Amino acid sequence: MVHETINHTELLEDLLLTRRFEEKVLEVYQDRGIRELPHSSLGQEAVGVGACYPLEDDDLLAPSLRTRAAMLLRTPVEEIVAGMYGTESGPSSGRTTEHHMGSSEYGILGTTGMIGSHLNPAVGAALGNRTLDNDRVTVVFFGDGASQRGEFHSALNFATVQELPVVFVIENNQWTEAMSIDKLVDVDDLADLAGHGLPTEIVDGQDVEAMVEATAEAADRARSGDGPTLLEAKTYRYRPHAETMPEHRDEATLEAWKDRDPVEMYIDRLLERDQITEAEIESIDEQLQTTIDDAFDMAESDELPDEETLYHVYKDTEIDHWKGVAK
C-alpha cells in the first residue's frame, strides 16, 4: 500500500500550505486587492500536491496558472507573493505575473496566458532532457479547458511517437471558465479524448494518496523509458474561474464535492489511522500561517521594480529599445 511509504506529516504539510495560501490570497484580495487577479485552486489542491510528492527534486514541473501547489512546493513563498504583487523581489522582478513564472533554478517551466500553450513546450523539455541524456521527468498540469484545444492532441501525439518522459495531468475541475464541462465535450471522462496509443488512468483528485500513487507509477514508467502517461484527476474548483467573474453553481453539487474536501478527507484518514494527532496538525497549521502571513507582509512593503528591469528582451544582443541594435 502506497500510504505505508508516504511521510504523512510532510504530505499534509504540503496540502495545508496550499490550502492556507489560497485562503489567504482570497482574504487579502477581498479586503484590499492584489495586483494579480486570483484564479483560485481551492478545492483541487490534492491534485498538484499529490502529483508533486513522489517526484525527484530535479524533475521538471509545468504547472497551469491554477496549479498553485506546484509553484508553492518549489518556490519560496515570499517570492511567489512578491510575484503576485509585481514587486522587486518577485520571480522576474515584476516583469511577469506569478501565474506564468518560469525558473530553471526551481525546475518550473514558464508558461503564457494562452490556456494549454505549455503542453508542447513541456513535451519539448522532455525532448531536451533526452538530448542532454539525463533522467529528468516532466510533469505537465492543465485543466479541462486545455483538453479541448488542438495543442492537447499534437502534444500527446508527439510525446507518444517519440516515447518521451512526460506525465500529463488533467486537472478536471468540471468548469472551463464559467462553462460547465458537460456542455463542452461529449465524453464522461476526458481521458477518453486522448487516444494516440497513450496509457491513461482516471484518478480521484480529491484523494491525495491516490494522486501520489498514480503519479509515482507514471513517473517510473517515464523514467524507465516507456514513454508518457495521461492521468485524469477528477476534482472540483470551489471558486469561480477568476475572482472577478462570479459563476452560478448548483448548491447541492458544490456541497457534495465539499463533503469530499481533499484536506478534510486526508486529515480524517490520518486521524483514523493514528498517523497524526490533532495537536500536531494544529502546530503545523500555525507555522504555515506565520510563514504565509510574513510573506504577504513582506510583499506589501516591497519596492516596485526599477524601470530598467523592463529592458531585458535579448540575452545575446544589446539593443536600444526604440531603434534596434545599439552601436
Partner 1 sequence: MSQQLDAETETTTQTIRESLNQALHEELERDERVLLYGEDVAEYGGLYKISEGLYEEFGEERVFDTPLAETSLGGTAVGAALAGARPVVEIMYADFLPIAGDHLINYAAKMYFNYGDETSVPMVVRSMYGTGDGHGLHHGQSPEAWFMNVPGLKVVMPSTPREYKGLLKGAIRDDDPVIFLENKMRYGESGPVPDEEYTISLCESDVKREGTDATIVAIGGMVYEALEAAERLSEQGIECEIVDPRTISPLDTGPILESVEKTNILVTAQEAPTFGGFGSEVAAQVIDDAFFYLDAPVKRVGAPFTPIPFAENLEEAYQPTADDIESAVIDAIET
Contact residues: partner 1, CB under 8 A: 60, 90-93, 95-96, 100-105, 109-110, 112-114, 117, 119-132, 150-151, 154-155, 157-158, 161-162, 312-317, 319, 321, 323-325, 327
90 vs 205, beta carbon nearer partner 1: 90
259 vs 320, beta carbon nearer partner 1: 320
Please name every residue paired with 138 in a beta bridge, in sequence order, or none if there are none.
60, 166
Cβ of residue 133: shortest distance to partner 1, in angstroms? 8
Cβ of residue 76: shortest distance to partner 1, in angstroms? 12
244 phi, psi to nearest 5 deg: -90, -5
149 vs 260, beta carbon nearer partner 1: 149
42 vs 137, beta carbon nearer partner 1: 137
9 vs 96, beta carbon nearer partner 1: 96
121 vs 262, beta carbon nearer partner 1: 121
Cβ of residue 210: shortest distance to partner 1, in angstroms? 28
Cβ of residue 125: shortest distance to partner 1, in angstroms? 4
173 phi, psi to nearest 5 deg: -95, 15
Q: How far, in Å, CA of 117 to CA of 95, rounded?
A: 19
